[in-house]
Amino acid sequence: MALAFLSLLLLLLFPLSLLLILRLIVRPKPVKIPIKNRHVFITGGSSGIGLALAQRAAQEGARVSILARSLQKLEEAKQSIHLATGIEVATYAADVRDFEAVKKAVNEAGPIDVLVVNQGVFMPQELEEEELDEVRFMIDVNLMGSFNMIKATLPLMKKRDGHGPASIAFMSSQAGQVGIYGYTAYSASKFGLRGLAEALQQEVIADNIHVSLIFPPDTETPGLEEETKRRPQLTSIIAASSGTMKADEVAKKALHGIQSGSFIVPCNFEGLLLSIATAGLSPQRSFLMAFVEVVAAGIIRFAGLCFQWNWYGSIEKWHAQKRSKYLGSSWCLIFRCMHMAFLLFRSCPNDCGPVVLHDIVSYMITVQE
C-alpha cells in the first residue's frame, strides 16, 4: 500500500516538477498585446487573409492602415470594410519591394503598434519547370519585402507613444514549416521568415516589441483561387493533409495569436501538431505548450515520419500512374501493335492468320486497360 502510494507520488512528481521548471524558464516571458485604440498596419490588407484581418482589427477598435500595390483593390477593400463595420481604414499604395515607397507610406501613417507583414505571392511549380524570374519574384516580395517593411517601421515603432507592448507579426504558411512539392521558392521564402523572426525577436525584446509567426494551411482567398489554376497535382495532394480554412477563421486565429503574444501561431489542429513537431529552438512563452513540446517530442516525430511515408507514397504512385498513362497512350498503342505484329508474323509465317488476329486484339485490350 505504502509502496503504491510512493510510486504514485513519484509518478506525479515528475510532470509537476517539469511544469514548475518550465514555468520558471520559458523566455521571452508571457505578454499581452492590446489592440483597442492602437495603430495596426497590415501589408497585403486589400485581399484575402489581410483584408479579413483588417476588418477584425477595425471591429476590435484598432486604428487600421492597409498597404498594397493596386489602388483600386485598396479602394474596394476600404469600401467593403466600411460597409461591414462603418469604420474607415487608411490606405497606402506601395510595392513592398520598393524601400523608398514603403518608408514614405509608413512615415505618413505614423507610429505603428502592431505591424502585420502579410503580403505574399505564390506560384507553385516544379523548380525544373519554373523560370528563375518567378523564383526571384517570390523571394523579393515575400522575404526582401518583409525586410523593407521592418526597416521602415522600426525607427518610429521604437518611439511609439507610451511604449506599451508592440508587435511585429509575419504571415508565414505551413509550407514555411515543412517543404512541400512544387513550393521550392515559396517554402524557401517562408522558411526565411522564420530565421528572420527568431533573430529579430532577440534584437527587439528590449524595446518591448514582440514577434509572432502565423502558419495558415490552404486558405480560401483570391490568391488561392489563382494558385489552384496552375498548381501541380502533387502539391494539392500533399497540401490536402491539412485541409482548407476560410480567410476569416485564419484572421481570427492570427489576431488572437498576436494579442496573446505567441511566437508560433498555428491555425488548425494539423497546424498545432506541425508546430509541436517543428518547435526546434524557437522561443516559447507558454509553459503549458513548452510542457506539451517536451513530453510529445518522440511521438510527434513518429507522426511526422508517418506523414512523410504517406507523402512519398503519393509521389511514387503519381509517377507510376504517369508511366502507365504513357503505356495507355495512342502512340504507345500503335507502337506496341506494330511490334506485336512484327513478332507474330516472324514466328508463324504460314496458316496462323486467325491466331494472329486474336492475339493482336487481346493485346490491344490489355494495353488499353
Ligand X SMILES: CCCCCCCCCCCCCCCC(=O)[C@@H](N)CO
**Smallest separation (angstroms) from ligand NDP to the CB of 264:** 14
Binding ligand X by CB under 6 A: which of 54, 182, 218, 266? Answer: 218
Q: What does 167 interact with, of ligand X, ligand NDP, none (CB < 5 to 8 A by kind)? A: none
Cβ-based nearer residue to ligand X, 311 or 363: 311
CA distance 220 to 246: 5
- Report phi then psi at 306, rounded to 5: -65, -40
Residue-wise burial string across 211-235, b where 16 or more C-beta atoms lie within 10 A, e elsewhere: bbbbbbbbbbbebbeebeeebbebb
For residue 284, state whether it binds ligand NDP (rule: CB under 6 A): no
Q: Say whether 322 is catalytic.
A: no
Beta bridge partners of 188: none
Cβ-based nearer residue to ligand NDP, 164 or 222: 222
CB 266 within 8 A of CB 242: no
What count of other Cβ atoms lies within 10 Å of the Cβ of residue 273? Answer: 17
Helix (H) or strand (E) holding 324: helix 287-328
CA distance 309 to 299: 15
Q: What does 26 interact with, of ligand X, ligand NDP, none (CB < 5 to 8 A by kind)? A: none
Q: Say whether 172 is catalytic.
A: yes
Cβ-based nearer residue to ligand NDP, 239 or 289: 239
Binding ligand X by CB under 6 A: which of 118, 125, 148, 173? Answer: 173
Place of cell 494472329: 356
CA distance 356 to 360: 6
For residue 293, state whether it binds ligand NDP (rule: CB under 6 A): no
Q: Say whether 314 is catalytic.
A: no
User: Pick the catalytic residue: 172, 187, 189, 242?
Assistant: 172
Binding ligand NDP by CB under 6 A: which of 41, 92, 122, 287? Answer: 122
CB 181 within 8 A of CB 315: yes
CB 43 within 8 A of CB 73: no
- Report phi then psi at 245, rounded to 5: -115, 165
Cβ-based nearer residue to ligand X, 125 or 174: 174
Binding ligand NDP by CB under 6 A: which of 182, 192, 223, 283? Answer: 223
User: Pick the catalytic residue: 92, 181, 183, 186?
Assistant: 186
Q: What does 192 interact with, of ligand NDP, ligand X, none (CB < 5 to 8 A by kind)? A: none
Give contact residues for ligand NDP (rule: CB under 6 A): 43-44, 46-50, 68-70, 73, 95-97, 118-122, 141, 145, 171, 173, 216, 218-219, 221-224
Query: What residues act catalytically?
Result: 172, 186, 190
